[in-house]
């Protein structure tokens, strides 16, 4: 499978699509998010958190860089926008290869530190409410796993 594309028409649909992906994730999975400021990266992370059974408010970890949540499995939410020059000090391997799911916003800023197996998502603004999401499986084992989203017929 190559890239998977979808269009959402609201924040709720973006969260719903992310939850569909989140329901297929397993410990050690990494989802990277890139896109314009305000494109919906944090809403996408919220959808994954919902699928993982995270209770409570999930918001952008812009100033803390990493937030950890408990759910059916640990959920690690990172925003590396302000982490320039600190990548080595963050201990990312501990998260990427740990027992939870990791979501990284602004992942292109630390491309060299990302694991070889991940789901790379880019979110593009089409209008005030519409978004285009492009999800690319990185690594052989992730290519077939995205087929489950084909059953999500909304798009």
Please, how many CA atoms are within 13 Å of residue 144, restricted to the half-sphere of its CB?
2
Question: Which of 142, 126, 137 shows the shortest CA–CA distance to 13?
Answer: 126
Residue 113 near residue 121, CB atoms below 8 Å: no
DSSP codes, 7-38:
EESSHHHHHHHHHHHHTT--TT-EEEEEESTT
- pLDDT tens digit sequence for 45-79: 999 999 999 998 888 877 778 899 999 999 999 99
Q: Tokens representing 59?
A: 């918001």
Specify the pTM. Answer: 0.90
Question: Which of 94, 76, 101 shows the shortest CA–CA distance to 25?
Answer: 101
Question: Which of 70, 92, 96, 71 shows the shortest CA–CA distance to 80?
Answer: 92
Supply the pLDDT for residue 153: 45
DSSP codes, 63-116:
TTSEEEE-SSS-EEEEE-TT-TT-GGGG-HHHHHTSSSEEEEETGGGGGGGS-S
Q: pLDDT tens per residue, the chain (155 residues)?
A: 478 888 999 999 999 999 999 999 999 999 999 998 899 999 999 999 999 999 988 888 777 788 999 999 999 999 988 776 666 667 888 899 989 999 999 999 888 889 999 999 999 999 999 999 999 999 888 877 777 666 554 44
- DSSP designation for 123: E
Supply the pLDDT for residue 82: 78
Report the alpha-carbon distance of residue 73 to residue 39 in Å, rounded: 27
């Amino acid at each position: 499978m190559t890239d998977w594309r979808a269009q959402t028409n609201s924040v709720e649909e973006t969260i719903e699509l992310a939850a569909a992906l989140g329901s297929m994730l397993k410990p050690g999975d990494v989802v990277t998010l890139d896109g314009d400021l305000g494109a919906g990266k944090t809403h996408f992370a919220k959808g994954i958190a919902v699928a993982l059974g995270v209770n409570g408010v999930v918001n952008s970890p812009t100033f803390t860089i990493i937030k950890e949540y408990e759910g059916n499995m640990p959920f690690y939410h990172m925003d590396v926008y302000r982490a320039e020059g600190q990548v080595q000090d963050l201990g990312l391997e501990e998260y990427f290869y740990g027992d939870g799911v990791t979501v990284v916003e602004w992942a292109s800023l630390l491309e060299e530190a990302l694991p070889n197996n991940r789901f790379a998502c880019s979110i593009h603004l089409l209008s005030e409410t519409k978004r285009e999401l492009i999800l690319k499986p990185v690594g052989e084992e992730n290519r077939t796993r995205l087929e489950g989203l084909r059953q999500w017929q909304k798009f």
